[in-house]
Structure 1
Amino acid sequence: MKMKRVWILLLAILLAVPATASIASASGHQHGHSGYLGYFEYSNGEVKGKFVNFQVNSKSGVIENYTVGNTTIFEKISYENNTIGHIRVSGARFFYYGVASPFGWNNTHKMGYMWRVIMVHDNPVGVLHIVTHGQDVIKYHLAQGINATLSNSTVVLSGKVSAYLFISNALPTIQNNTIYIKTRNNATASVIFIDEVNLNIPKKIKNMEIKSLQKHKLGGEMYIGPKGTDFVNYTYGMNAKLTMKEKNHLQIQVSAQGVKGGRIMLINVNRTMLNYNSSMRLIVKFDGKEINKTSMNNLINCSSSQAMYAVYNNNDTVSIAIYIPHFSEHVIDVESEASSSGTSSGGSSASGGTSNAESSNENTKSSEGMPSPMLWGIVAAIIVIIIVAGVAVAKKSKSN
């Protein structure tokens, strides 16, 4: 009877150990960050992230030592007109809301006073987006080793970085290692900083992003992976959120306020999220209707009244660029299903088609979400110890 109890206890322990390992693995999987996602910590003007670090004056919004990776790009970002503001930090996002009046944020919008919004994302490209309404001058003081040249309404940064300032509705000039962005009265200006040197994505996607930002057509970018989701806003007033995540189906809700004209939404999806491989067919729907597939170049130059998309496959990531012709509130569905032809494809092609590079695909396997080899090694060691202990107990019971 005593032996029976011993073996029941050992069996219970054996069953509990793998279960505990799975729970530990799932917990770590849930709270970790993917390669695109960081996390900001904010205290007394110090903003520290996985990719981006800087200091900020919580009242004025003046930024110092803006650093991406190990490279300081801006010694200081200051403004001609003062604002009084407040800061909000949420996960990988930093926000500053400032107004040039004593009447508060909501009343300032109604009364026409100058206001400023600063948005920073803790990701490899160090996105810094400053939106200003009203007349002002934004001053970007370059750090040592950073050079700037002007190309139309884009400032190209070189030297220690390969980065850009994309400027909309404002006049940029460069003088004495400082970039001056002059905004206009009764107008809203946007300045987006991106350091693409740290982003390991295909050149075709990089080029698409740069061209779209230069044309002010890239509305936002979403990263969807097993460990989290993040949305980067490139058009002020545009928002997106993941509303459904199933084995072969993702659903995204997109909305915008005050946005005129079409915008491109770039969605980077870890292919394991769609169970997607070379034998699958990709389906993209806009407001419930399947839309046509086109090339990246066609998408950038698109002015159609119809939604369409382009896709590029790279190792474990599927990049889907969707042209949204107009705004209210829209739903985007991305699905994968078995292809009868055995090759991946999208909807029927629009004019221009897609290149072989864009439609090519690679089978990949992901180990994300699986317990680590070290963890299973520990489990195996525990099992061996338990078995040895069981044998010893059995021998002792027999001798008794």
Structure 2
Amino acid sequence: MLGLLALGVPYFAAASGPGGECHAEGDGDGREHAGEGPGGEAAEERMCMMAEEAHMFGQIEEESENLSFSGRFVEFSLSENMSAIEDYTMEVPEETLLLESVVWGEVTGATYTVSGAHFRLTSDEVLVDAHNNPAAILMVRVYDSRDVVYTLPEGAKYTADERFVNMSIGDLEAVIIYVNATLSAEGGTLTFTPTSTPYHIIFRVVPAEGVAGHMWEREYTEALKIRKAVGEMRIAISDGEHMADQFAYRENVRMELKHAERNRVRIEVSGEGEGGVMLLQMNREALQSRVRVYFDGEEVKEAENLGEVLEATGEEPLYYSEPAEKGSQYFAVYIPHFSTHTIEIVGVEEWPLADYLPYIAVGIVVLLVAAIFLALRKRK
């Protein structure tokens, strides 16, 4: 039996996903969904497929008769009385059982919705969010004094820290972050008990090698463990349509996709307290090969590597970007402190004239010097 592990830092999640047929509208509370444009259902279906192939997110399909849910990345079922999630399974690159069950017990007034990549169960006592994306995010938020019990699959290994549980499940790695709770563990059973309410438990997978963005997802999971991760947003843009799947890791952080079109995305992030790093993933065809990132209207310096952003502690924003496999692009943006901020990503032409101006100026000077030199020689 492990000793009791306590954590009292207010660090949780609001969540969202694309709604309807991979899109819907939101109200800016950190749970909004995005998707608009003239393309109709055919365009939506095409973007869903594109987002899945780029390893970004995908539609959750529901079988309401047996309360089962499946998508490109995750599959699970809901118990008949809505007291538990069962057989939470990762589908990429191969089927792997992640959690045998997550049990929160009987609840009052429970209902659920499926909105694109996002499953949500609400009740008077419990809120549950699951995301059909490569990180297989699963969050349980509890408002009363009940325990939540996680049962791990056979063969799963884990170690526990005061803030999180490290897990290995076959070839996959995962982490469970818990807030305002203690943990007791025996065998493959993890029991979370509140120290105050509400309390939160967040499960996140590090996608296997071969899944797009494996290294980025691994590094961001490490940032989550030390409370440096703010939230993530995955945005697909094509033919005037856009979709987004997002998840904020801090309770007081709100993220809203304000504008999305080819070569221009604008996100509003608001909150309180110390800064952190936001993770963004976009389909590569939505951007030129060169981008500029702006923070509150000012151009942001690009870091030398991802680690520099994840370790940043200064007063200036910083970003790093890199293409991933399967046709997506990752961005990490360091936010120095919180109030209300705007992050804008703009695609620029491959080699705009402005980038050449210094070289053109030098060339003109060289030509003038050469011309003067030749003129002087002729006079001699």
In 1, distance between residues paired with 2:247 and 2:80?
22
Partner amino acid, structure 2, of 1:246: E
- Alignment TM-score, normalising by the size of structure 1: 0.66
Q: Which residue does the alignment assign to 1:140? A: 150
Partner amino acid, structure 1, of 2:249: Y
Q: Which residue does the alignment assign to 1:167? A: 178
Is the counterpart of residue 38 in structure 1 residue 58 in structure 2? yes
Aligned residues of 1:153 and 1:171 also touching (Cα < 8 A): no
Aligned residues of 1:61 and 1:96 also touching (Cα < 8 A): no
Q: Which residue does the alignment assign to 2:307? A: 297
Structure whose CA Rg is larger: 1
In 2, distance between residues paired with 1:26 and 1:270?
15
What secondary structure does 2:51 align onto? Answer: coil
Q: CA deviation at 1:230?
A: 2.0
Kindly tell me: are residues 254 and 163 of structure 1, through their superposed partners in 2, closer, same or farther at Cα, counting changes over 3 Å?
A: same
Aligned residues of 1:192 and 1:234 also touching (Cα < 8 A): no
What secondary structure does 1:222 align onto? Answer: strand
Aligned residues of 2:104 and 2:148 also touching (Cα < 8 A): yes
Kindly tell me: are residues 48 and 31 of structure 1, through their superposed partners in 2, closer, same or farther at Cα, counting changes over 3 Å?
A: closer
In 2, distance between residues paired with 1:23 and 1:85?
32
| Residue segments in structure 1 that go unaligned for 5+ positions in a row | 1-21, 100-114, 345-400
Question: In the TM superposition, what are the counterparts of 1:197-216 in structure 2 within 5 Å?
Answer: 197=208, 200-202=211-213, 204-216=215-227
Q: Which residue does the alignment assign to 2:378? A: none
Kindly tell me: are residues 152 and 95 of structure 1, through their superposed partners in 2, closer, same or farther at Cα, counting changes over 3 Å?
A: same
Partner amino acid, structure 2, of 1:52: V
Is the counterpart of residue 331 in structure 1 residue 342 in structure 2? yes
Q: CA deviation at 1:266?
A: 0.7
1:66 to 88, 95, 98: 88
Aligned residues of 2:98 and 2:152 also touching (Cα < 8 A): yes
Aligned residues of 1:231 and 1:241 also touching (Cα < 8 A): no
Q: Which residue does the alignment assign to 1:366? A: none
Q: Which residue does the alignment assign to 1:322? A: 333
Q: Which residue does the alignment assign to 1:7? A: none
Aligned residues of 1:124 and 1:198 also touching (Cα < 8 A): no
Q: Percent identity?
A: 23
Compare relative contact order (CA 8 Å, sep 6+) and give the higher one, 1 or 2.
Answer: 2
Question: In the TM superposition, what are the counterparts of 1:65-214 in structure 2 within 5 Å?
Answer: 65-69=87-91, 70-79=95-104, 82=107, 84-99=109-124, 115-160=125-170, 161-186=172-197, 188-197=199-208, 200-202=211-213, 204-214=215-225
In 1, distance between residues paired with 2:161 and 2:71?
31
Kindly tell me: are residues 341 and 244 of structure 1, through their superposed partners in 2, closer, same or farther at Cα, counting changes over 3 Å?
A: closer
Partner amino acid, structure 2, of 1:283: R
Q: CA deviation at 1:263?
A: 2.8
Q: Which residue does the alignment assign to 1:56? A: 78
Aligned residues of 2:99 and 2:153 also touching (Cα < 8 A): yes
State the Cα RMSD in Å.
3.2
Question: In the TM superposition, what are the counterparts of 1:224-303 in structure 2 within 5 Å?
Answer: 224-226=235-237, 228-236=243-251, 238-256=253-271, 259-276=272-289, 280=290, 282-294=291-303, 295-303=305-313
Q: Which residue does the alignment assign to 2:367? A: none
- Alignment TM-score, normalising by the size of structure 2: 0.69
What secondary structure does 1:34 align onto? Answer: helix
Aligned residues of 1:120 and 1:128 also touching (Cα < 8 A): yes
Q: Deviations over 1:10-44 (max 9, x none)?
A: xxxxxxxxxxxx99986753453422222123314
In 1, distance between residues paired with 2:196 and 2:204?
23
Structure having the larger proportion of residues in helix: 1
Aligned residues: 302
Aligned residues of 1:126 and 1:193 also touching (Cα < 8 A): yes
In 1, distance between residues paired with 2:41 and 2:214?
38
Aligned residues of 2:141 and 2:198 also touching (Cα < 8 A): no
